[in-house]
């Protein structure tokens, strides 16, 4: 993506409908969702039997047996078995990271074409047993003879060892969940419950309208009898949202984050095809948009910075590299982990104090045009399978730019661990 390097073009993307956890995909794991999504991409772009330069496909919540999910899924997708695959994870930014990875390989001339994507499930989670039981089983495996194995099995045994533990959503460094951290951000930036509910309402209504006008017809492929995201609530109202109780701060009486203005735990997968101009032209495929700039950043959330504020750092760095202002975009795709997090981000860019003291800028980045923001809805209405969101956004934005005929779009995704991944798509 450096100046003078080859362009990395987004050819297009597909995804399965995103579903609330423990619903339609309750018995479907990452592998099946990944195979369906990659297979749909192969079908859409006629990639049967073709060897690609790389498939970068990630997952955040996965079993040990999925250690190379990308490689195993592509072997069942219709691609040539000589296609390499790499499995990655950077929480919510995973498949945007993978898009950047593939684009950089194309720009450097290492490959001509690749696939970026991700799959995640919070229904089929790895269940882990106690450290004591793990050590006991290992001791039994090492023991020789039936009597020694029996002794290893019963020596000091307690029923407490059989209690399973499930993957947590708390930050290991703080012990607080992402929602608890976001409550702290909402108080710092004085984000009201009403502002959060309003943003959530708009996300549902915009997504519903996009489905009604057929925008997702070639982006979403039916799976397991589901044709559209089942998190979507087209009939929701501010009155309904106002009845929901706080989901994270349940005791202070000041909690503002609810199940309605926070992203639902979700299952799903998404993928995008990225290629050089030459590769696409040789196959009669059109480029929707080009990935031209990207940036990642991290914040010191352990010592007081907002956990989900890293995009506020990454975006101005990326703008400086690109020689652009925040207002130089036709579309803004800002991942809606929580409505409060989006509002905090936008207020930070408008704050003279924050832009001066934290970003080192002479003036605020300023406001964005709300009419250009998440115009087809986003994670609050779509759902958020962690590793799939980036590819969903890239495919959506690339199609929006193609429909417009030209333009520029900004992508911003916050992640667990206090990081942010951002990118710019352009269509000349």
pLDDT for the residue numbered 196? 98
pLDDT for the residue numbered 164? 77
* 132: its two tokens: 């004591």
pLDDT at 64 over 90: no
The total number of residues shown for the chain amounts to 428
By mean pLDDT, which of 13-17, 140-144, 161-165, 221-225 is the weakest? 161-165
pLDDT for the residue numbered 177? 94
pLDDT for the residue numbered 5? 73
Please state, in angstroms and rounded to a whole number, the distance separating the CA atoms of residues 302 and 297.
Answer: 15
How confident is the model over 352-370, as pLDDT tens digits?
A: 999 999 999 999 999 999 9
pLDDT for the residue numbered 1? 59
By mean pLDDT, which of 110-114, 191-195, 251-255, 270-274 is the weakest? 251-255
* Contact indicator for 10, 274 with CB cutoff of 8 Å: yes
How confident is the model over 103-155, as pLDDT tens digits?
A: 999 999 999 999 999 999 999 888 777 888 889 899 999 999 999 989 888 89
Q: For the chain, what is the largest distance between any 2 Cα atoms, rounded to a whole number of angstroms?
A: 75
* Contact indicator for 106, 6 with CB cutoff of 8 Å: yes
pLDDT for the residue numbered 167? 66
By mean pLDDT, which of 86-90, 141-145, 241-245, 282-286 is the weakest? 141-145
pLDDT at 3 over 60: no
pLDDT at 161 over 50: yes
The catalytic residues are: 92, 384, 414
Residue 157 CB coordination number (10 Å): 13
Mean pLDDT of 22-33: 96
Mean pLDDT of 379-397: 98
pLDDT for the residue numbered 160? 86
By mean pLDDT, which of 113-117, 153-157, 344-348, 378-382 is the weakest? 153-157
pLDDT for the residue numbered 126? 80
pLDDT at 168 over 90: no
Mean pLDDT of 337-346: 98
Is the pTM higher than 0.85? The answer reads yes
pLDDT classification of 176: cutoffs 50, 70, 90: very high
Mean pLDDT of 304-314: 98
* Contact indicator for 178, 310 with CB cutoff of 8 Å: no
């Amino acid at each position: 993506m450096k100046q003078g390097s080859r362009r990395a073009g987004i050819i297009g993307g597909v995804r399965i409908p995103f579903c609330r956890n423990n619903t339609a995909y309750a018995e479907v794991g990452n592998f099946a969702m990944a195979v369906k999504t990659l297979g749909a991409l192969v079908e859409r772009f006629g990639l049967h039997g073709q060897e690609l330069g790389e498939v970068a496909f990630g997952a955040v919540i996965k079993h040990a047996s999925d250690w190379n999910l990308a490689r195993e899924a592509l072997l069942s997708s219709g691609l040539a078995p000589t296609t390499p695959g790499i499995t990655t994870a950077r929480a919510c930014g995973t498949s945007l990271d993978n898009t950047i990875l593939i684009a950089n390989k194309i720009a450097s001339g290492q490959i001509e074409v690749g696939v970026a994507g991700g799959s995640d499930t919070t229904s089929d989670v790895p269940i882990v047993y106690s450290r004591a039981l793990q050590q006991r089983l290992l001791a039994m495996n090492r023991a020789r003879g039936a009597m020694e194995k029996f002794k290893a099995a019963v020596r000091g045994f307690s029923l407490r060892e059989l209690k399973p533990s499930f993957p947590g959503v708390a930050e290991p460094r703080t012990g607080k969940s992402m929602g608890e951290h976001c409550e702290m951000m909402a108080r710092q930036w004085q984000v009201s419950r009403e502002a959060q509910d309003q943003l959530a309402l708009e996300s549902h209504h915009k997504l519903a309208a996009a489905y009604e006008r057929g925008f997702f017809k070639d982006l979403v492929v039916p799976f397991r009898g589901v044709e559209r995201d089942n998190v979507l609530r087209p009939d929701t109202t501010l009155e309904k949202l106002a009845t929901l109780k706080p989901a994270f701060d349940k005791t202070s009486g000041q909690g503002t984050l609810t199940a309605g203005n926070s992203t639902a735990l979700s299952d799903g997968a998404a993928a995008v095809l990225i290629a050089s101009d030459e590769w696409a032209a040789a196959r009669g495929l059109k480029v929707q948009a080009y990935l031209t700039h990207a940036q990642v950043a991290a914040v010191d959330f352990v010592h007081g910075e907002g956990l989900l504020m890293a995009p506020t750092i990454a975006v101005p760095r990326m703008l400086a590299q690109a020689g652009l202002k925040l207002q130089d975009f036709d579309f803004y795709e800002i991942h809606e982990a929580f409505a409060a997090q989006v509002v905090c981000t936008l207020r930070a860019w408008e704050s003279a104090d924050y832009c001066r003291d934290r970003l080192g800028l002479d003036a605020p980045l300023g406001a964005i045009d709300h009419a250009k923001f998440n115009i087809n809805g986003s994670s609050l209405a779509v759902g958020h399978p962690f590793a799939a969101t980036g590819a969903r956004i890239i495919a959506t934005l690339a199609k929006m730019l193609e429909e417009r005929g030209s333009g520029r779009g900004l992508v911003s995704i916050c992640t667990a661990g206090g990081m942010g991944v951002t990118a710019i798509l352009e269509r000349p």
